[in-house]
Amino acid sequence: MSKTNSFFKIIKNINKSINSLLEKNLNKLKVKNLIKLAKSNKIFLTIVAVIILFLSYLSIPNIYNQNEILKKLKNDLLNNPQININFTKGLDYKFLPRPHFVSSDSSLIFNHNRISEIKKLKIYLSLENLFSLKRIRVKEIVLENANFNLNKKNYNFFIKLLDNDFSNMKLKILNSNIFFKNMENEVLFINNILKAEYLYDTKNSKKILFSKNEIFNLPYLIELSNDKVEKKLYTRLNSELFRLQIDNHYFYDEKNKKGSVEFIFNNLKSTSEYQISENLFEFKFFDKVENPKFFYNGKFNFKPFHSYINGNSKKLNISYLFETNAIIPELLKTKILNNKNVDFNLSLNSDVIENLNDFENIQLRSKIKEGLIDLDNTIFTWKNSAVFELLNSLVYVKNGELVIDGSLKINIINNMELYKFLLTPKNYRKKISHIDLNYTYNFETKIITLKDIRVDNKFNKNLNETVNSISFKNDKLQNKIYLKKILNDAIKIYAG
């Protein structure tokens, strides 16, 4: 009996606990709490309604007539009468991530000629005034994967784009190419536009183009602005690869077209002054006016094409011309010099070659004609002991590497100084007047192959086999020791 009473007591206590818990939670559902809950739902519903209304607002351009939209956009996109956008297909409208029209096939018309095919054109709209087609405003234009075809007649297309009003609109060009062609429609070279942007500089009140590019696989940045009041075009080109910055101020008065360029290379400044006429470009290039370390002048006649560059310098750095990624190998790879109309002559005189001070009195001669480039009649002196002259030379690219083939004539003007430098034993110091040979030098591998070596018109088979191939290292001291050894071996063979 006592056990039964204990059981009912336990049940009773559990019941009291449940009732207490229910009472405690049900008290929360008072009128005030119900009002708070309703308010929370109201806020949520309001947010949902606002989102729906906003998305509906963004969708309004979908209901406009396609032809009217095209007409409106054509009038508003570029307010330059010389430039028009042609939409081959209709436009697709998307409101996320921000409202914009998309064209998958369009083109640019400049001076009534189609100069560009655009794979994707995006036109971003301002969020204001979507209720009215007439008041819709373009905020940004993005051209992607476009191909521009430029030549002598329309080369200034990207400059003319600066005539547009970019105070309330931006223009971007992404992952596109510029094909520069001659009047026979042959491609001279290709410039890749990674990212270009036209915008308005509010601080200086001017329109600017910033562009990130590649040409001949060489990256560079360019900034461009046009001051129509002063009739001055400003261009800045920056190449981190070459540690080079170029600032160009070009004045395009109706009578005189001239300008000046400041070059900053490895923190060293130099200046160029130039003049332009209808078919002629003339320039001077120097580091300073008084007692310059170098001074060059040149002329480019475009019709018919003929050009030359002459100059003098205290030191000549040939690495800019011939090493990997330098000017000459990159131009040869593009095959732009294969044009038979190219006629170019180079004449440079220098006291020494930079980093090779033993070579003095440099007379570098080069010409490009009918697609061939040579260094014939180039002369230099080595330690006042020998005079070298290049003959029958040809510079070309083989398997992607820059190579020069030719003949070399060496006149020995001081045997004693030559043997003294080489530390040649006295019993081998035979008098030598001149050496003739044929050579092939690879600028990439730094290997020179010699053949048909004749000393004072005599051919020695053992000598030819000994100095058949010379491989240069990056270390100057190693090269000096190596050359002394191989030349002394050749002298011993010749002396018998």
Using the predicted structure, report yes or no on whether residue 74 has a pLDDT greater than 90: no
The mean-pLDDT minimum among 66-80, 202-216, 395-409, 440-454 falls in 66-80
What are the tokens at 161? 């784009």
- Per-residue model confidence (pLDDT) at position 389: 95
Average pLDDT over residues 343-366: 89
Mean pLDDT of 44-65: 68
- Mean pLDDT over 142-147 rounds to 94
Say if residue 136 is exposed, middle or buried (CB neighbours under 10 Å; 0-12, 13-18, 19+). buried
Contacts of 435 (CB under 8 A, 6+ apart): 408, 409, 410, 412, 453, 454, 455, 456
What confidence category does residue 28 fall into, taking pLDDT thresholds of 50, 70 and 90?
low
Band (44; pLDDT cuts 50, 70, 90): low
* pLDDT at residue 184, rounded to an integer: 83
- Hey, which residues does 148 pair with through a beta bridge? 116, 178
3-state SS string for 209-253: EEEEEEECCEEEEEEEEEECCCCEEEEEEEECCCCEEEEEEEEEC
246 vs 352: CA distance, rounded Å: 26
CA distances from 84 to 112, 151, 170, 214, 290 (A): 9, 18, 16, 27, 51
**Bigger pLDDT: 303 or 236?**
236
How far apart CA 197 and CA 142 sit, in angstroms, is: 9
pLDDT above 60 for 219: yes
3-state secondary structure at position 403 = strand
Give pLDDT, residue 21: 46
Residue 15 binned pLDDT confidence (cut-offs 50, 70, 90): very low
Residue 73 phi/psi, 5-degree rounding, is -65, -40
pLDDT at 312 over 90: yes
> What pLDDT is recorded for position 22?
41
Please report the pLDDT score of residue 246 as a whole number.
Answer: 93
Contacts of 181 (CB under 8 A, 6+ apart): 149, 150, 151, 187, 188
Domain boundaries, the chain: 2-58, 63-228, 316-495
Q: Say if residue 7's pLDDT is above 50.
A: no
Please compute the mean of the pLDDT values over residues 472-487 and round it to a whole number: 83
Query: How many Å apart are CA 363 and CA 380, to the nearest integer?
Result: 6
| pLDDT score, position 174 | 96
Is the predicted pLDDT of residue 13 greater than 90, yes or no?
Answer: no
- Which of 426, 417, 468 is closest to 447 using CA atoms? 468
| Overall average pLDDT of the 127-141 stretch | 78
pLDDT at 29 over 50: no
Model confidence at 368: pLDDT above 90? no
What integer best gives the mean pLDDT of the chain? 82
C-alpha span between 319 and 242 (Å, rounded): 12
Of 350 and 305, the structure prediction assigns the larger pLDDT to 350
Give the three-state DSSP class for 134: coil
Q: What is the pTM of this model?
A: 0.58
Element of type H or E holding 347:
strand 343-353
Q: pLDDT tens digits, residue range 234-267? A: 999 999 888 899 999 999 877 778 999 999 988 8
User: What is the per-residue pLDDT for 362?
Assistant: 92
Q: Which residue has the higher pLDDT, 69 or 373?
A: 373
Mean pLDDT of 413-423: 91
Tell me how far apart the alpha carbons of residues 265 and 270 are, in angstroms, rounded to a whole number: 8
Q: How far apart are CA 317 and CA 364, in angstroms?
A: 12
Does position 1 have pLDDT exceeding 70, yes or no? no
Q: Which of 77-81, 137-141, 274-278, 308-312 has the highest mean pLDDT?
A: 308-312
Contact status, residue 385 vs residue 410, Cβ threshold 8 Å: no
For 446-468, what is the mean pLDDT? 91
Closest CA to 388 of 424, 420, 412: 412
Q: Who has greater pLDDT, 202 or 73?
A: 202
Average pLDDT over residues 13-18: 47
d(CA 446, CA 443): 5
Q: What is the mean pLDDT of residues 159-186?
A: 88
Using a pLDDT cut of 90, give the percent of the chain over it: 32
Q: Which two tokens stand for residue 59?
A: 């969708």
| Residue range 307-317: mean pLDDT, rounded | 90
pLDDT for position 153:
87
Burial string for 418-436 (b: 16+ CB within 10 Å, else e) reads bbebbebeeeebeebeebb
Q: Is the pLDDT of residue 188 over 60?
A: yes
Predicted confidence (pLDDT) at residue 206 exceeds the cutoff of 90: no
Q: Which residue is associated with the tokens 């329309």?
A: 154
Q: Report the share of the chain in percent with pLDDT over 70.
A: 82
Is the pLDDT assigned to residue 410 strictly greater than 90? yes
pLDDT at 134 over 80: no
